[in-house]
Amino acid sequence: MINPINRTIDNWRITINDNGITGRNHININKNKLNHLKNDRTCKIVGCTNLIRINRTSGLCDNHQLHEHDLCLELHNPAGNLVNAPAHKDIVDALIEWSSSRNFGLLPFFSNLSFNTLGNVPDVSTLAGKVTHIGITLPTLDIAYDSLIQVINNFFPINNNSSFQPLVTSKGEIPAIVLAYTFAGLLICEEANRGDRWFCRMVIKEESKTTQLGAAMPIAYFAARIFPWGVEMNKSARNLTL
């Protein structure tokens, strides 16, 4: 299992857990082309000796086509109670409404989150040690999450009261900076559970071969919301990123 990580802000605790095969996303096919060189007939999962066709670019036998790990985020309130975390779209809506009243553009914030997330988080099978990549040093979840927290703290200073303003979400009132921490955690989960960009960039060395959006999906919703359409789109922009 992938070790959980915990971060606390304003007495709220954000946890990223590995739910293994009981999680929501384990049914997704592993999209990494582990045998992209077509030079090996042995399943790439560590310890597996099953044979595969030489041209099976996934590098995985039938028993290991699916991810066996799933990162999920948990949110605990200051009382220590587990609460339902808002979906990324609810967080984006709340932050846009909050920022518009302050003439505070969020585009640089989301651009920095994108730059620090996309392609920087390995897939869950790699993070769990199910597959290895010779000569490549893996970034840990701690490092990946902390790089996003640094971005958040630059845009939501902890010495600024407005960073801690409670914002209305479908799950209740949650401080703005806590929502930002939560959104960053959701990006980590999306990129690891659904993404292959890190593998394409670091292992294949061709990022253009990426096929999965991963963390780009939540960021795409923000982009859809703020684009100057010339017509009133408001929250109907949700439909553009489903």
DSSP notation for 173-235: EEEHHHHHHHHHHHHHHHHHHH--HHHIIIIIS-GGG----TTHHHHHHHHHHHS--SS--GG
pLDDT in the model for residue 68 = 87
pLDDT in the model for residue 130 = 93
d(CA 129, CA 133): 10
> Are 98 and 160 in contact, with CB atoms under 8 Å apart?
no
pLDDT in the model for residue 202 = 94
Would you list the domain boundaries of the chain?
85-241
| Residues lower than pLDDT 50 in the chain | 25-27
pLDDT in the model for residue 25 = 44
d(CA 136, CA 238): 38
d(CA 111, CA 19): 29
pLDDT in the model for residue 230 = 74
| Dihedral angle computed from the Cα positions of residues 22, 131, 217 and 20, in that order, rounded to the nearest 10 degrees | 10
**Length of the chain, in residues:** 242
pLDDT in the model for residue 228 = 80
